[in-house]
Chains A and B, each alone.
Chain A
């Protein structure tokens, strides 16, 4: 009898679990269907980010074609090259404050910009779990999908030192951060005006504020100028031999394919993972279409397109190219920090340290 009861209980539990999963699947399917219907009504998806991100207009057209095919849509895409990630978020916030539609229906940017957007409360929570095909596995405590649904990580860029392979060869390739302070590089290297990488290395638990401030002061006397992360042609032209540090070496990956003398090295101290996030502005004119494109970005075919157009993908997926870089750093014992809006929110003095680093880099010149 007890055996029968046991079987009956197991059967009931099985039926209950089946019902639950069916309900969840039905719920997910209903949300997705609702979004697809909404996207059909929206008709057009306007997007704006930097021309060198995600393949610019060419990449966007491929994404539109892919998502149209996947979701049975006939959306038209309109891409306009825009400012950098932080500037675009500020613009969205101002547009929201002025009651205007957002410049971009779908926002794509980094943790810092997301952090600003979250402070201004301009991002729309989305039930990502209900519309993505596959939820990325976690990396430690890092979850690609934000708990409040305001953003979702879609790609990973690995920070390092980018260099011109004609000018920096063999043993000259920096292995440690301090290698760039070698007098032979004085007046030949560049850094970024926003202290990319350095600002994260300065946080407690990595190299620390004091060490990085001291390093940056020395670096400032060493560099010849400040360039943005996207200006790889200033390395290929030979104007600068190295960029210390990058926002991610993905542009080197893309340019290498056309034969450009460009590569990135990751220093032994470790690296920062600059995540690329998708988010939907509250004042988006096409929130459904935008959310579907973000969900599409996590599919294997879209991840392959990201690799093709921008030399990056999400390191959390097993097939990821970026995963190899991350695994290599971990295998060598290097530290890794994942830059997320939540991580930035948890830090004390991050903004002040960044401002100080920027000032040192900027005013080290004339």
Chain B
């Protein structure tokens, strides 16, 4: 069923587009993002220690990045890494989403639980876990293969762009799952049923009907994962840096945190970031086109729709084997590693000898002052950021979907921009802004609010994507009726739209909260003293070689996060969260 488009009377159009409150709310995060980008561009024209007389304006940063053959190698590595990440994430996330939404496979709540758990485990542990599996020298799988086939060299190596992409893909499969599950849920089954009636086999139906119908949603997920893949930091840092395999994110990190001689090259980072705006613009346009194609494919149906599920029968066991294998290698193994590392005095491959050293020393000696400071700041961020994201994203989505103003394209572009920019660039923009522009007039430097502002800016893209889709599904007649009944724009939003959007809003809230809870890059760049977060505490231990202490804090963090996950499951069972 194609969504009907009704031309609103001018009165309604004006009412829905000129609300100053909504316009203000939508403009605020956009202005912040614009300022961050402006700071980054300003920085890209400077060299030397910023803020000191040693800093000079120059074009050298741009010349340097284009003349640096090392950067081209880095870009190639990043392309291979991102492609592998995307393929692996899709190959795992997509089938599981399809199984969860379009089939009769049992235990769907458990599937959602498994996929959500992925977000609890920091990427550094997935990386370390896979180091013990597939590292050429200490990976047990490699040792086993070498012994079994009498090989000279280890056949697997995760310390390559492809290897790291595989590990990253395991992490991002959960994101693909979340992005595509809702699409499978909303997919009109009548075309599949028609294919079945016309005698197409199951596989041919998947190939000829299901996949083409899902293509816009899959492409949207691909773009989303690609942008994350380009910007991701933890796995390239853990596996790549030590093995001299550099990605764009680690290249930027090294420019800002030179490990040795020289000052931080913020200018180079700014120049790379400025170039990435072009990439972000391209991806935004592509994303918009994909969404528009989505409407042509007519996959979104209206009210009264009930999906027809595919009877799996005995294939359910195969489906669960696939999910179980994924859960084991991407979740259980790293989680076991965390427990093991938290209980051992130093880091070494599991052995009977090490089992004799197990103790609770890292828990009894835990620095509670620091841990509680981190927990308090993270709790504050989890409480505030998702709410702000929802408020701002709702205002933006409203303007983008409901208004006819040409400015909506600019707003949509600006809202998506942070998704395509590495968070580190936003963080650097915020840091320099707080230090050298705002200064003492607005004392944001070193405060948790600076981190909150960057988090809000960074998460707006995800939230607006979700809300745009949901707003498109709500017919304007509802609002028109409210307007006719005399409700103001804000009251219409509160009384009509918000209840209808509740599942999506809850979904966005919980996902934003989870992502804020585990976010590391921005927290590390902006953390000073009083604003250190829980993940930054873990990072500080890990970075200083305290893998075991870091594991103990991670375990604590996972246990504390359990209630949030419980809320998610509870809401999911009540059908309040989109996608469940």
Question: Which A residues have a C-beta under 8 Å from some C-beta of B?
Answer: 46, 48, 50-53, 56-58, 78-84, 86-87, 90, 93-95, 97-100, 103, 112, 116, 120, 187-188, 190, 192-195, 199, 224-228, 230-234, 236-239, 251, 255, 258-261, 351, 354-355, 358, 362-366
Contacts and interface: CB of A to CB of B under 8 A. Distances in A.
A190 B529 CA distance: 33
A56 B243 contact: no
B49 A97 contact: yes
A83 B524 CA distance: 9
Contact of B242 (A225, A230, A255): A225
Nearest to A57: B367
B66 interface: no
Given A56-B544, A237-B349, A366 B131 contact: no
A52 B245 contact: no
A363 B70 contact: yes
B52 A237 contact: no
Contact of A52 (B242, B244, B546): B546
A354 B259 CA distance: 11
A321 to B, nearest CB: 21
Contact of A51 (B138, B257, B546): B546
Contacts of B349: 237-238
Contacts of B159: 225
A156 to B, nearest CB: 20
Nearest to A362: B244
10 contacts: A81-B543, A82-B540, A94-B435, A99-B440, A228-B545, A236-B346, A238-B137, A358-B259, A358-B260, A366-B77
A230 B544 contact: yes
B547 interface: yes
A231 B349 CA distance: 15
Nearest to B49: A93
Given A48-B529, A120-B52, A81 B347 contact: no
Contact of B435 (A95, A231, A354): A95
B544 A226 contact: no
Nearest to A354: B261
B259 A193 contact: yes
A193 B52 CA distance: 27
Interface of B: 49-52, 70, 73, 77, 131, 135-138, 159-160, 241-245, 254, 257-264, 345-349, 357, 365, 367, 369-370, 373, 435-436, 439-440, 445-446, 527-529, 532, 537, 540-541, 543-549
B315 to A, nearest CB: 41
Given A53-B544, A81-B370, A358-B260, A93 B52 contact: yes
A81 B541 contact: yes
A98 B445 contact: yes
Contact of A366 (B245, B346, B537, B541): B245
Contacts of B131: 237, 239
A336 to B, nearest CB: 22
B257 A364 contact: no
Contacts of B529: 46, 48, 78, 80, 103
A261 B353 CA distance: 12
A225 B49 contact: no
Contacts of A100: 435, 439-440, 445-446
A258 B52 contact: no
Contacts of A94: 49-52, 435
A149 to B, nearest CB: 23
B445 to A, nearest CB: 6
A100 B436 CA distance: 10
B544 A365 contact: no
Nearest to B438: A98
Nearest to B445: A100
Contacts, number: 175
B43 to A, nearest CB: 12
Given A80-B370, A98-B439, A239-B137, A366 B244 contact: yes
Could you say which of B258, B261, B541, B546 has the most chain A C-beta atoms within 10 Å of its C-beta?
Answer: B261
A232 B245 CA distance: 20
Contacts of A120: 49, 52
Q: Per DSSP, are chain B's interface residues mostly helix, strand or loop, or mixed?
A: loop
Given A236-B347, A355-B261, A365-B245, 20 more contacts: A50-B543, A52-B544, A80-B370, A81-B541, A94-B52, A97-B51, A98-B51, A98-B436, A100-B440, A103-B529, A228-B259, A233-B347, A233-B547, A234-B242, A237-B349, A239-B137, A255-B346, A259-B357, A261-B348, A354-B261
Contact of A237 (B348, B370, B532): B348
Contacts of B73: 366
A344 B197 CA distance: 82
Contacts of A261: 348
Contact of B545 (A79, A233, A364): A233
Nearest to A101: B446
A255 B348 CA distance: 12
Given A57-B367, A193-B259, A226 B52 contact: no
Nearest to A351: B261
B260 A354 contact: yes
B377 to A, nearest CB: 11
A96 to B, nearest CB: 9
B402 to A, nearest CB: 42
Contacts of A351: 261-262
Contacts of B51: 94, 97-98
B543 A225 contact: no
Given A100-B445, A103-B529, A51 B543 contact: yes
A90 B263 contact: yes
A283 to B, nearest CB: 12
A354 B254 CA distance: 16
Contact of A239 (B70, B138, B370, B436): B138
A226 B540 CA distance: 19
A230 B542 CA distance: 10
Nearest to A228: B259
Contacts of B346: 233, 236, 255, 258-260
A97 to B, nearest CB: 4
A50 B544 contact: yes
Nearest to A230: B545
A120 B55 CA distance: 12
Nearest to B161: A366
Contacts of B440: 99-100
A365 B541 contact: no
A103 B135 CA distance: 38
A57 B138 CA distance: 32
Nearest to A77: B369
A62 to B, nearest CB: 12
A259 B359 CA distance: 13
A135 B540 CA distance: 34
Given A81-B541, A98-B51, A366-B77, A238 B261 contact: no
Contacts of B357: 258-259
Contacts of A95: 435, 445
Contacts of B50: 94, 97
B160 to A, nearest CB: 8
A225 B191 CA distance: 54
Contacts of B537: 81
Contacts of A53: 544
A209 B345 CA distance: 41
A354 B260 CA distance: 8
A110 to B, nearest CB: 11
Contacts of A187: 136-137
Nearest to B550: A51
A258 B264 CA distance: 37
B70 A81 contact: no
B437 to A, nearest CB: 9
A56 B49 contact: no
Contacts of A224: 137, 243
Given A227-B242, A239-B131, A258-B345, A83 B52 contact: no
